[in-house]
A and B are shown apart, each in its own frame.
Chain A
Amino acid sequence: MVPGVAYFLVFHYGAFVGNVVAFKEYDPFAGLWGSPWVGFGNFSRMFGDPDFWHATWNTLYIAVLQLVFYFPVPLAIALLLHSLTSDLLRRFVQSVVYLPHFLSWVIVVALFQQVLSDTGLLNSFLGDSGLHTVDIIGNPDAYRPLVVAEVIWKDAGWGTIIFLAALMQVDEQQYEAAAIDGAGPWRRFWHVTLPSIRPIVVLLLIMRLGDILSVGFEQMLLQRPSVGPEVGEVLDTFVYWQGIIGGDIGYATAAGLFKGLVGALLVFVANRIAHQLGEQGVYK
């Protein structure tokens, strides 16, 4: 127990204390404790910084796109897999769709670039067929759909696990009873399948809402250079760029701390709402 506890104390709580630098004007020579205090100076600067609001806007934009387009996909795949009658086929498809989850973002981004860049697979195919070529990588307008497509490719299959488990637990007798009462496949789906998996859908939705300010740091950082900060900057990359690249440590910490506070608050609020709706939520 000791090494584990020590790890959490040093690398989580120890690091957490470092957040005081958000209230300081960080001077690398004076160090963390020697740097002068500036109160809420970094925060007031942040709220007046259009770049910060721009990053916040991009973050929310991408998060909402993901919520609308990514969130239903694992559920749809799970329903498809669940309806397959052959056990062997289902297991095979499952193994294949889980796979991309285990690839790093470097590999996924590289893959998408190979397929979609102006010299990539899609365009050489379009070009050979005498069609118009499209530039997707490096085109700021296509960036947001692109990152959502990447998330879907990478993690939608993995996301089916939890829905599949919920579907397994649906009582077979309910289907039979519904069928006897004359319910067709669609009515059975609507009145038996969906209500049974509702709690798990709500749970995942809450977790997603609490996480809304974090949209794939690694993914965004890897692709920010190809489209620039205009669309590619999100809160996490903003912190990275200001702090680690720019050396504006106090300011970047303030932005990170703000993000963390809002995130924790969101989890809390979302969980509250879930309780009000009579669902179990993430914690009690």
Chain B
Amino acid sequence: MEKPKPVTKAAKGVAVLVLLALVLVPFLVIISTSLASNKEVVANGGWVLWPTDPTLRAYEQILSGGIVTKALGVSVGITAIGTFVSLACTACLAYALSRPGVFGGKPVLLVVLFTFLFPPGMIPAFLLVKGLGMQNMYAALIAPVLINVFNLVVLRGFFQGIPEELYEAARLDGAGDWTVFWRIVLPLSKAALAVVGLFYAVSYWNAWFHASIYLESDHWPLSQVLRTYVIGGAQIADTGLSEAGMVSAPQTTQMAVLVIATVPILIVYPFLQKYFTKGVLTGAIKS
């Protein structure tokens, strides 16, 4: 094939740069502003692209035992427990549904897929959680979203891709269902488990809506706190954090909360990124 023309090449270069800038510049501004000193933020009209005199004051302030600190703990707990339980339940069900000839396999699969087409609706789900007495319990954030159908289909597709010979060999060696699942299927599915685990972790970490309708404000996870104080515009200083007498500019604290809510995702993301394409595709093709 002939080489692309210089014009095409330049246009592509510009397009790529614009794309990168659109995603990265907002992140840079948030991080910079959260690290900037009070004076600089005010002088610059609320934001900083590159702090000249970086300080961690905003972080010290919000992490010194106030509402943000507590919310951070709640978020970490919900994310860890939720991800583990969801992943375990999803993997077990996906395995059962991936094996031919399991008792009730076909109808169960239909029952599960039907919920995708026809979700129960917001109000009935709300009434159910209330009816089960889960109001103001952390379980209300996990139980109603325990298994995600898309994740289930991804894992099931992956399990089905494991060669039948492996199962047969294990059977001949006298392995039962659990042994096969534990010793063969799971170790071979690390990539898919990593992707699905990330999807669950991200959704638990980001969830705020259920917290806002089921939990009292002193039980809130970080996302819901973020919603109230950054989007809702309430001042974090109102909540007793100003006691120390060194209040940062509101923008700085808001940006610091944003950073704290974003950083965990930025940390796990690069490690799992390489699995995305494969994981998502298995799911997309099978469904």
Asked if A pairs with B, the answer is yes
Given A21-B127, A253-B121, A121 and B270 touching (CB < 8 A)?
no
Interface residue? A162 (CB, 8 A): yes
Interface residues of B (CB under 8 A from A): 1-2, 4, 8, 12, 15-16, 19-20, 22-24, 26, 29-30, 44-47, 89-90, 92-93, 96-97, 102, 108, 111-112, 115, 117-128, 131, 143-144, 146-147, 152, 202, 205-209, 213, 223-224, 226-227, 230-232, 251, 254-255, 258, 261-262, 265-266, 269-270, 273, 276-277, 280-281, 284, 287
CA distance A165 to B22 in the complex (A): 24
Query: In whole angstroms, what is the CA distance A253 to B230 when docked?
Result: 31
Residues in B with CB closer than 8 Å to A267 are 117
A164 with B277: CB separation less than 8 A? yes
Docked CA distance A49–B210 (Å)? 28
What per-residue 1/0 map shows which CB atoms of A256-284 lie under 8 Å from chain B?
Answer: 11011000100100000000000000100
Interface string of A105-126 (1 = CB under 8 A from B): 1110111011100011100100
- The 8 Å CB contact of B209, one of A19, A80, A98, A221, is A221
Binding site for B on A (CB under 8 A): 1, 3-5, 7-8, 10-19, 21, 32, 77, 80, 83-84, 89, 93, 95-100, 102-107, 109-111, 113-115, 119-121, 124, 127-128, 153, 157, 161-162, 164-165, 175-176, 179, 185, 217-218, 221-222, 225, 236, 239-240, 243-244, 249, 252-253, 256-257, 259-260, 264, 267, 282
- CB neighbours (8 Å) of B287 from chain A are 282
Distance in Å: Cβ of A82 to nearest Cβ of chain B: 11
Residue among B2, B45, B205 with the highest chain A CB neighbour number at 10 A:
B45
Q: Which of B19, B44, B213, B261 contacts A77 (CB 8 A)?
A: B19
B124–A19 touching, CB < 8 Å = yes
Given A119-B46, A264-B117, do A97 and B19 touch, yes or no (CB 8 Å)?
yes
Residue from B1, B2, B146, B231 whose CB has the most chain A CB atoms within 10 Å = B231
Majority DSSP secondary structure for residues of A touching B = helix
Q: Judge whether B45 and A4 touch: CB under 8 Å.
A: no
- The residues of A that contact B224 with a CB separation of less than 8 Å are 106
Please, which residues of chain A bring their CB within 8 A of the CB of B23?
A: 96-97, 99-100, 153, 157
